[in-house]
A and B are shown apart, each in its own frame.
Chain A
Amino acid sequence: MYKIVEKTPLNPTVTKMVIEAPLVAKKAQAGQFIIVRAKDDSERIPLTVADYDREAGTVTIIFQIVGGGTMELNTLNAGESVHDFVGPLGKPSHLDGLKKVAVVGGGVGCAIAYPTAKRLHELGAEVHSIVGFRNKDLVILEKEFEAVSNKMVLMTDDGSYGQKGLVTNALEALIQEGNQYDEVIAIGPLIMMKFVAQLTKKYNIKTTVSMNPIMIDGTGMCGGCRLTVGGETKFACVDGPDFDGHLVDFDEAMHRGTMYKDFEAHAREASCNLLNKEVE
């Protein structure tokens, strides 16, 4: 059992949890992920490490409540424990030696883009952060990004906060202003990463994306997380989760991501009903 030290809602659908897991905290690096199981009969949910504190022995996760599993995780409160917490899994991001980087985050993906921006800032790189959300209510980590960025652009789809438009609009504007990036790091929905990669390909800028496909064990055993990268089959859990955005087959990944859409919709409904009953 792993104790939940802190639980904070970041917006109505995104929750931050700080979990006591000293061994994981000791080894975790930006870009890696953990797998959490809320209860004894829960699903295994892979989540990218949002932050860690080696001294306090804690690991921070940030998750969006999308399906039955994350909904169940969100029922737990500070002081309670998650049943299982395993990691750090996957390969850390390669951030050393980068001088000027654009970090692009979309939605809950900002939770993972933030530690990357922070680490780059600590390493002395010039960081331009571009973060996008659907609307003002869903904005997370704004201050945190500001603190580690030399330049920050916040976009919303509906213009209710920051600038109206997509992250790709902002990125292209920055590139056209003459900013020369060593690398663009994009973390967010598949469709966002796909369009960022298309844009940077045009300008020939190296682009890294962080993939978060369906997986079970996270150690290479199940093969459920396989992706096609540069024509080869890769396992996100052991070969990634970071990949060259110009080589990832995003359309295939988007298709595979919908494998259990109906089941998830059903599970979400079942969880909702269960919660309603508890409230009654």
Chain B
Amino acid sequence: MAIQRNMDPKKCPMPNQDPMVRNKNFDEVALGYTPEMAVSEAKRCLGCPKKPCQSGCPVGIDIPAFIAKVAEEDFEGAYQILSASSALPAVCGRVCPQETQCEGKCVRGVKGESVGIGRLERFVADWHREHSTESIQKPTPNGHKVAIIGAGPSGLTAAGDLAKLGYSVTIYEALHLAGGVLVYGIPEFRLPKAIVQKEIDGLKEMGVSIETNMVIGKVLTIDELMGEYGFEAVYVASGAGLPRFMGIPGESLKGVYSANEYLTRINLMKAYKKDSKTPIMHSKKVAVVGGGNVAMDAARCAKRMGAEEVYIVYRRGMEELPARKEEIEHAEEEGIIFKTLTNPVEVLGDADGMVCGMKCIEMELGEPDDSGRRRPIEKPNSEFVLDVDTMIMSIGTSPNPLIRSTTPGLETNRHGCIVTNGDDGLTSREGVYAGGDAVTGAATVILAMGAGKHAAKAIDEYIKNKK
């Protein structure tokens, strides 16, 4: 039966919680498509034979095929196609920057809005989680052991792929909970932690072992893992690590947070819950410095924690904001104030050492720099003071030294990122692979997952060929 195409130039809108309600709670913002919405949106897909969308997906999901299944109302069939390529579809449907990946290549996007691929992915993964009764099949063991450092998106993806191939996989996680940035960074209202936990439980059912409270480089080294512990290969997916500060006066005042600290207190340590034992400042006026997804998360958390005024302070313009488009829109709807073309020059403190303001300078855009973006330049004599009691620094991270400093022969670049041999993630040490933010510096969940996929494939080939 031929599918009746839906030629609506616009995406089926995502039902969301009302902005002025949701900016006071931590429940998920987007409520998800109903089956009717999903089928109708799926029918907007033209099923292009060249599949441009698939080439935009870092894990190479067969997008037209899964969407066709949705259009046929075969949601479980759609899930099988998704899960063949992605270990965490419920996560990706929520946090991928689709507009620069799959949806950015969608032919429907030329004369209208692209197909809502991310929304459909989310729908299918959620449908499966809520309806499927199938238990996960434990693969037949192949007798080989692989260790993974870091239970974030990259490590979890590699673990899933290797476990499916029969490897005995152990993930070592430094924190007390697995999930990496999915649990400490991305807030509940964007990615409910129950969904992350469900994906992790799935890996455990497949036989993946997760050891928490294990800081590799301290309690065990990579040499020990590959020596007395008998792992044939190690995948380092330890994340980006140390938060950067600007080096301006006043950054040590009380009320200056790194986004990592602020988000970790709220998300991992649950400071947003009334009965939480984790202290957090209940700020009135907050400036978040930076324009990425992490900055949006921090700003929206601050609003939900009760701040009256929350600013995003970013040195370039609205067009240059690196955050996902939907996050910027959501933040604006929730009342976050964007102070673009503005850069902090000093944090001001009161007699108690508490933040009582942030001195800023206005910026304008000059010639494009190495990154191709127009370089922000200070406007002379344009300083002003923003009245805030809290400042959250969200200007990126630099790699953690714990692994490189304890692994002889592991090559790193001048930024401290682990150097790998192209796509497969092989490092300068035989049998040691790396990927995700530990290699690229701070990037996205999906790129980290893509790296995990490639590394799993390379590790499988390496171990097979060694025999």
Contact = CB atoms under 8 A, between A and B. Distances in A.
Give the one of B241, B243, B402 with max A CB within 10 A: B243
A6 interface: no
A220 B213 CA distance: 15
Contacts of B253: 255
Given A87-B219, A220-B402, A238-B402, A41 B270 contact: yes
A86 B258 contact: no
A26 to B, nearest CB: 8
B140 interface: no
A86 B242 contact: no
**Chain B: interface size category:** 35 or more
Secondary structure class of chain A's binding surface, majority of residues:
mixed
Contact of B254 (A88, A249, A259): A259
Interface stretch (A148-156, A188-196, A222-230): A222-230
Interface string B196-239: 00000000000000001111001110000000000000000001
A221 B269 CA distance: 14
Contacts of A216: 261, 264-265, 268-269
B353 A255 contact: yes
Contacts of B241: 219-221
A217 B175 contact: yes
Contacts of B174: 86, 217, 219
Give the one of B247, B257, B265, B278 with max A CB within 10 A: B278
B215 A87 contact: yes
B252 A27 contact: no
B401 interface: yes
Contact of B242 (A37, A218, A221): A221
A235 B258 CA distance: 12
Contacts of B175: 217
A218 B402 CA distance: 11
B277 interface: yes
Secondary structure class of chain B's binding surface, majority of residues:
loop
Interface in A47-68: 68
Contacts of B327: none
B213 A85 contact: yes
B245 interface: yes
Contacts of A88: 218-219
A83 B213 CA distance: 10
Interface string B267-290: 011100000111111000000000
A86 B220 contact: no
Interface string B112-150: 000000000000000000000000000000000000000
Give 9 nearest A-B pairs by CB, closest first.
A255-B353, A260-B279, A223-B258, A263-B279, A222-B261, A86-B213, A223-B243, A84-B176, A259-B254
Interface of A: 23-24, 27, 37, 41-44, 68-69, 72, 83-89, 216-224, 226-228, 233, 235, 238, 249, 252, 255-256, 258-260, 263-264, 267
7 contacts: A86-B215, A87-B219, A219-B174, A219-B400, A222-B260, A227-B252, A259-B254
Interface of B: 174-176, 184, 212-215, 218-220, 239, 241-243, 245, 247, 251-255, 257-258, 260-261, 264-265, 268-270, 276-281, 352-353, 400-402
Given A221-B243, A223-B260, A224-B258, 5 more contacts: A69-B277, A84-B213, A85-B213, A216-B268, A222-B261
